[in-house]
């Protein structure tokens, strides 16, 4: 059976176990995501079409990877005006593996199976701990080291989740005034603590490199915004 789904403004024909790259979904690797926008489904010549979506139909998928697409370069040049602009963009992508195509309001079996497996794992671990009681004293010595490693991992995760910059106090500027920054890009910059023209104008080359590394904007693109922001900050 196949289904035609819509996500990220695009349509995809999928079947079970298909590996698919779609626009970024807010999920972690290993999570099961549900896509309810099913335009059509069927098998062979028997196809059911929605209006626009099929009622009660849903596709579930497992998140395999979070990444970025290749960089797309847009170069503009105006004749006899000494004007050149080079902008790069890397689209955030999520790689998913199609798990199930559900019809008639059926619920996904993946989540229930995951819970059952988790209970079985807990029971097995409990039995293993009871059998390995004599060795508990030896493992206790290594426990502080493992806890220290876990704390270090949590600290790194917290640092990764923190914004790149500290947002200044006061009212934010409308960053979409800068050519090349749309509503989506402005939202991404705001999430990373960049909210004003003055802040963009004062970005150092080190800051530009940091944004280039952690966000889907090229260094040339950010430097162009910086020059525009210097003029806007004066007003």
User: Which domains, ranges and CATH numbers included, belong to the chain?
Assistant: 2-105 (no CATH), 175-234 (1.10.150)
For residue 235, pLDDT over 50 is answered with yes
Cα–Cα distance for residue pair 208/215, rounded to 1 Å: 10
Q: Which two tokens stand for residue 127?
A: 């039995």
Computed over every residue of the chain, the mean pLDDT equals 82
For residue 118, pLDDT over 90 is answered with no
For residue 116, pLDDT over 50 is answered with no
Q: Are 16 and 100 in contact (CB under 8 A)?
A: yes
Cα–Cα distance for residue pair 34/105, rounded to 1 Å: 12
By CB atoms closer than 10 A (0-12, 13-18, 19+), residue 36 is: middle
Cα–Cα distance for residue pair 114/110, rounded to 1 Å: 6
Q: Which two tokens stand for residue 146?
A: 């493992």
pLDDT at 113: 40
Q: At what angle do helices 219-234 and 205-214 cross, to 10 degrees?
A: 130
Q: Which helix (H) or strand (E) holds 151?
A: helix 136-161
Within 8 A by CB and 6+ apart from 191, the residues are: 163
For residue 77, pLDDT over 60 is answered with yes
Residue 155, SS3 per DSSP: helix
Question: pTM for the complete prediction?
Answer: 0.43
For residue 112, pLDDT over 50 is answered with no
For residue 28, pLDDT over 90 is answered with yes
pLDDT at 215: 85
Higher per-residue pLDDT: 84 or 136: 84
pLDDT tens digits along 181-228: 988 888 899 988 999 999 899 999 999 888 888 888 888 889 998 999
pLDDT at 178: 92
Strand partners, 68: 92
Find the range with the poorest average confidence among 61-70, 135-144, 162-171: 135-144
CA 169 to chain centre: 28
For residue 170, pLDDT over 50 is answered with yes
Q: Residue 221 to residues 79, 182, 214: CA-CA distances in angstroms?
A: 21, 13, 14
Cα–Cα distance for residue pair 53/4, rounded to 1 Å: 10
146 falls in which pLDDT band (50, 70, 90)? low
126 falls in which pLDDT band (50, 70, 90)? low
pLDDT at 115: 42
């Amino acid at each position: 059976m196949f289904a035609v789904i819509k996500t990220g403004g695009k349509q995809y024909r999928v079947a079970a176990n298909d590996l698919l790259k779609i626009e970024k979904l807010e999920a972690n690797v290993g999570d099961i995501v549900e896509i309810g926008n099913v335009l059509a489904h069927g098998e062979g010549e028997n196809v059911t079409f929605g209006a626009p979506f099929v009622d009660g139909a849903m596709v579930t998928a497992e998140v395999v990877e979070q990444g970025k697409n290749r960089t797309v370069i847009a170069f503009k040049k105006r004749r006899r005006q000494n004007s050149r602009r080079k902008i790069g963009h890397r689209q955030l992508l999520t790689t998913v593996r199609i798990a199930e195509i559900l019809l008639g309001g059926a619920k996904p079996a993946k989540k229930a199976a995951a819970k059952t497996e988790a209970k079985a794992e807990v029971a097995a671990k409990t039995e293993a701990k009871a059998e390995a009681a004599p060795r508990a004293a030896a493992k206790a010595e290594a426990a502080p080291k493992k806890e220290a490693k876990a704390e270090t991992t949590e600290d790194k995760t917290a640092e990764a989740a923190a914004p790149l910059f500290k947002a200044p106090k006061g009212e934010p500027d409308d960053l979409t005034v800068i050519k090349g920054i749309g509503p989506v890009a402005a939202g991404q910059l705001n999430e990373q603590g960049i909210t004003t023209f003055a802040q963009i104008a004062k970005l150092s080359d080190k800051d530009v490199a940091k944004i280039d590394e952690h966000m889907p904007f090229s260094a040339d693109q950010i430097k162009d915004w910086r020059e525009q922001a210097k003029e806007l900050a004066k007003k």
